[in-house]
Chain A
C-alpha cells in the first residue's frame, strides 16, 4: 500500500506520514530530474494519471494545486513491481509528492533496468515500454545515462535536507563535489554545450547562462555564514542572481526512452524577489528556508541522440492535461476543478525561464515572449500578480 506524502508550501510540513527516505523529510523545492520509465512525455502525463487512478486521493489533496497541469517532473525511478511504483516522486512548483510502496526508498539504477530489457507494466496496463527501445537506448548512451542519473540523484540528495537538524556538511560537500565533477565532465564532453545551445537565443554565451548552482540546505545562518555553497561555479559567472536561467530542457522526444527534463526553474519567480538587491549568492539565500535552491537541472540528451529536438512547445504541450481528452480525466478534472491554475500555467513558467539572465525579479515574467523555438507557447501576464501572493507565502514560510 502506497502512502502519499505531501509537503505543503504554506505550512511546510508533511501532511502525511513522512516518506521513510533515509529519514529525511523532503524539501518542497521543485526539482526535476528526468523522466523515468513510461518516459515519453505523453507517458509522463499518463503516469501521473495512472497513479492517481490507482491510489485514492485523500480528500485534503483535492484542493491541491493541479499538479497534473504543472510541469510535473518525475524525480526518481519507478521500480518494476507488482505495485505501480516503489518510489515515485513528483514535483511541481511547490509541492513534492512522494509515492512509496512498502519497500524502502530506492532509486533503481537505470542501467539495470535497461540491461534486463525490463518491461514495465503499470498495473492498469496502460503503459508498456518496448524492449527494442530500451535496447537502443542502452547501446547508445549507457554511460551518459548512468552519469545523468547519478547527477540527478546527487542534486536531490543535496536538496532533501533534514528539517530540524543541520545537515551534515561533510556529506553535502562530497555530494556537491560529485555534482561538480559530473558537470565538468559533461562540459568537456560537449553534451552540456549541446543542450544549452539548442535553447538559448543568439547572443547568449554559455558563460552567461550557466551560473552557480546553489544548494541550500537550511541556510538560515544569521551570521552571514550560510551553509549553502555553490555546487558549481563557472568562471566568470559570479552573478548575483545565482540564477541560471536556462531551462535546460532536453526535448529530444524520441521513440526511445527519452529523458525529458524540466528544469526546476519555476521557483525562481519568487526566489528572485528574495534575491533582488543582494550582492552575492551566499548572502542572498540566508533567510530562505525553502532554499532558493537553485538546482541546476542539467539534462542532457542521450549522448548519441541524433534526432532533432522537437520544439519545446510540442513537448511541453503534451504535459498539459487540459489538452488531453479522454474520460479518465474527467474524474481528475473534478478533483482539481476549483483550483486556480493560472499560476501553474506551464507555458508561462517555461517561457519565463528562457529569458536572459540578468533580469530583475519581475522582469522575467514580463518578458514572456515566446522563445524562438516554441511558437506555440503563449505567455500570460497572470503570473505577475501571483508573485505578490508568493511573496506573501514566502514571508509566512520564512517567518515560520
Chain B
C-alpha cells in the first residue's frame, strides 16, 4: 500500500500527520514491561512488529511468548487523541526443544513475527524461532450460545427425562475473549538458524531464510517447501559468507532480496529460475580503503534489510551505518547515514565483548521519508531523508512522564564534553535497542529495550 502524506490541518485535531522528521517532536506515550533492573532472560524482547493497519502491535520474547497490544479506538472528537496500546492477547508460541541427534537445545526465542494482511475478522501472524515457523490465528469471541436443551449452562448434561420443552439456543454477548490458535506448523525445513521470514505480496506464499538457505512456503502447505537459494558450499571449509536477512518486494511477488555477512545484497527474480542462486542484481558498495581495518568485514555485515513502502528503495543496516539503495542502482547506495560513527575507534573493544556482532534492525516510516534504527545506551536514531537531518533519542525510564517530550541526546566522541553530552566511554553497551517498529500510517513508534517496550508518539499540540 502506498501511503501518501495526508495533508490536513495538522496539530490539534488530527494525529494522522504521516510525515515525520525533525519538525516532529516525539513524546513518551507508554512503556510495557517490568520495571526492575533485574532482567529475566525470558522477558528479553526479540522482535517487534505492527500489523498492516497499525492497530495491533506484536512482540516476541526470548521465552517464546508473543504479546499482542491493541490500539484503543481513537476518539476523533477529542482534541488530544492519545491512543493507547493495551494488551490484547498473550500466548506461548514456541517451546524449547531438544534436538536429539545433535544434542543441542533449540531455543524458543521468537526471532521474527510477520503479520498477514487481514482478510476476515481474524488476524493471522507468522512467528518463528530458530527452526520452526508457526501460523497463528488470533480471533475474538464476544458472544456465546446459551440455552442448550441437553446441557446445563455449566456444561453438564441434563437428564433427558427432565426435558419437557424445547428452546432454540441464542447468542448472548460475553466478555471479549481473544483466542490464539496455531493453524499451521512449518517445521523441519531448516538446518541452520532461521533469521528472517517475509510474506509475499500474493498473500499465499512466504519465504524463510536461515544462514545458508532460503525456502519458499505456501501458507496452506506445511509438509513441503521449495528451496530457492542455497549458498552452502560443497566443502564447509570454504564457507565465508552467510545469509543475514531476506525480504520479499512489497509489490512484485516474484522479487526478493537477501543480504549477506559480507555486506552485499542480492536481488533475485523467481521467474528466472527455480533455484535463485544467481542473482539478478548485486548491490555492493566498494570498500573505502581509508577505513580499512581488520574489522572492516565484520562491520560491513548487514544485519537487516527492509524495502521501502513504495517498493523503489531498500534500506540496509550494517554495524555503523544505514544505507538507502535505489533498486535501479547497484554500485552504491543513494544515501548513507552514520548511526554511531563514534564507535569506529572502539571496534576492538566491541569485538572483545562481542557487541560488534549485535544485529540492529531498521524501519521506515509510513511515507518513506524517515528511517529509524537503534543504538546503544538505549539510544535510537531518527534519520530524516527529506530534510537531511537526524536526531538521537533515548528510551529510558527517566523520561516516562506522560506526554513528556524526548530531548535529543548527543554523544561526545572525544575532546571536551559539553554539557548534556554523554561521552562514548560512559555508554552502556548492555542497553541496546535492536528492535524498533513504526506504525504504518501514523507517527507512532515502538522501541524495544532489553525487556521493555516503549511507545512514543508525535507530540500533538
Contacts and interface: CB of A to CB of B under 8 A. Distances in A.
Interface stretch (B74-82, B136-144, B239-247, B407-415): B239-247
Interface string A129-154: 00000000000000000110010010
Given A173-B241, A230-B238, 13 more contacts: A153-B352, A166-B102, A166-B130, A173-B261, A177-B297, A178-B295, A178-B297, A212-B237, A220-B102, A225-B191, A228-B236, A230-B236, A282-B237
B359 to A, nearest CB: 8
A55 to B, nearest CB: 24
Contact of A150 (B102, B242, B301, B348): B348
B102 A170 contact: no
B297 A109 contact: no
The 3 A-B pairs with the shortest beta carbon distances in the complex, nearest first, are A230-B237, A169-B211, A229-B236
A106 B239 contact: no
* Among B192, B237, B242: residue with most chain A CB under 10 A: B237
B319 to A, nearest CB: 11
A9 to B, nearest CB: 18
A152 B95 CA distance: 37
Interface string A195-232: 00000000000000000100000101111011111100
B104 interface: yes
Interface residues of A, number: 40
B89 to A, nearest CB: 28
A218 B105 CA distance: 12
B357 interface: yes
Contacts of B237: 212, 229-230, 233, 281-282
B103 interface: yes
Contacts of A282: 235-237
B239 A229 contact: yes
A150 B293 CA distance: 12
A174 B297 contact: yes
B241 A164 contact: no
Contact of A169 (B104, B192, B294, B298): B192
A225 B238 CA distance: 13
Nearest to B262: A177
Contacts of A194: none
A181 B287 CA distance: 16
Nearest to B104: A166
Chain B: number of interface residues, binned into ranges:
35 or more
A165 interface: yes
B211 A174 contact: no
A168 interface: yes
Contacts of A170: 211, 242, 244, 261, 301, 357
B352 A107 contact: yes
A22 interface: yes
* Among B212, B244, B294: residue with most chain A CB under 10 A: B294
A182 B295 CA distance: 11
Given A170-B261, A282-B236, A153 B351 contact: yes
Contacts of B212: 169
Contact of A222 (B102, B238, B351, B352): B102
A107 to B, nearest CB: 5
Contacts of A220: 102-104
Nearest to B130: A166
Nearest to B359: A170
B62 to A, nearest CB: 12
A171 interface: yes
B273 interface: no
A22 B244 contact: no
Nearest to A222: B101
B291 interface: no
B51 to A, nearest CB: 29
A226 B295 contact: no
Interface in A101-149: 104, 106-107, 109, 146-147
Interface string A156-193: 01000000111011110110111011100000000000
B461 interface: no
A281 B349 CA distance: 33
A169 B193 contact: yes
A173 B104 contact: no
A164 B108 CA distance: 13
Nearest to A157: B354
Nearest to A230: B237
A218 B261 contact: no
Contacts of A147: 294
Interface string B329-371: 0000000000000000000110111100100000000000000
Interface in B383-419: none
A109 B348 contact: yes
A72 to B, nearest CB: 22
B55 interface: no
Given A220-B102, A226-B236, A282-B237, A174 B301 contact: yes
A171 B239 contact: no
